[in-house]
Amino acid sequence: MISSVWPQVPPVPPSPPAPPAEGFKPPGTSDFDIPPIFEGVPVLEWFDKPTLQLILAALIVFGFFALATKAPSIVPGRLQFLAEKFQGLVRDQIARDNIGPEFRKYVPYLVTLFAFLLVNNVFGIFPFVQFPTFAHPGMAYALAAVTWIIFNYVGLRKHGALDYLKLQTWPPGVPWAVRIILTPIEFISNFILRPVTLSLRLFGNMFAGHLLLLLFVFGAEYMLTTADSIVLNVLSPFAFLFAIVMTFFEAFVQVVQAYIFTILTASYIGASLAEEH
């Protein structure tokens, strides 16, 4: 009787659970996915930021040495002095020590390579750019391929195809039974692993360094502006300070990696020119 007088109220459905609070999202490989500059233009979809940086680096290197040698004098100016010191470093500590008597003809390429690598790596900490070109794997692979072509070309030109292949794959002074094992190992090491390790070393260091900087910068920003914790807010300046410290460390790594890539290129050229290994 009562149920017929009072209308029945439908039960209230339970409210959905509140979405979890969004926490800190660490940087990852998605931060390296750079869209094309001319997105939507089929002919220019390949032209992205790393490609632009390669062009800018080439122009910077060319412009620097062109200005430094525009009016050479016995008493060098600042640019000429810097260019001469840079060229002398590559000539004496990289080319001469690793290539041997024929080192002079390869000095121009090694100087250009070292400067080109240095500019592209330093782009990673340069304001408004802040991306090392060779953190893009394709760029590192392409540069390593150039080195691979050069050291094989100079070896083939000096020794001929058969002698060069023998020098690179047949270790002298070892028994025949051991040569059967060592020959494929030497072939893989000299013709396949050299460009792979050369490119991966450069790419890995640039990628990891840039990722580490992103982690500290984004983490410090989150601690200061987003985190609902007084402790994290107070600690955020220290995170920013550590990001600055890591920037200087990354600059050191960028210079070292440019030097290592150049010195390995010189050593590969020297090994291709050598009579025996």
Q: Print pLDDT tens along the chain (277 aa).
A: 445 554 555 555 565 554 444 666 777 777 677 777 777 777 777 788 888 999 999 999 999 999 998 888 887 888 999 999 999 999 999 999 999 889 999 999 999 999 999 999 999 998 888 899 999 888 899 999 999 999 999 999 999 988 888 888 877 777 777 778 888 888 898 889 999 999 999 999 999 998 888 888 888 887 878 777 787 787 788 888 988 998 999 999 999 999 999 999 999 999 999 876 5
Say what the pTM is.
Answer: 0.83
Q: Are 90 and 114 in contact (CB under 8 A)?
A: yes
Residue at token pair 């914790």: 229
Per domain, the residue ranges of the chain are 117-275
C-alpha distances in angstroms, 107 versus 68, 93, 149, 251, 262?
17, 11, 17, 25, 11
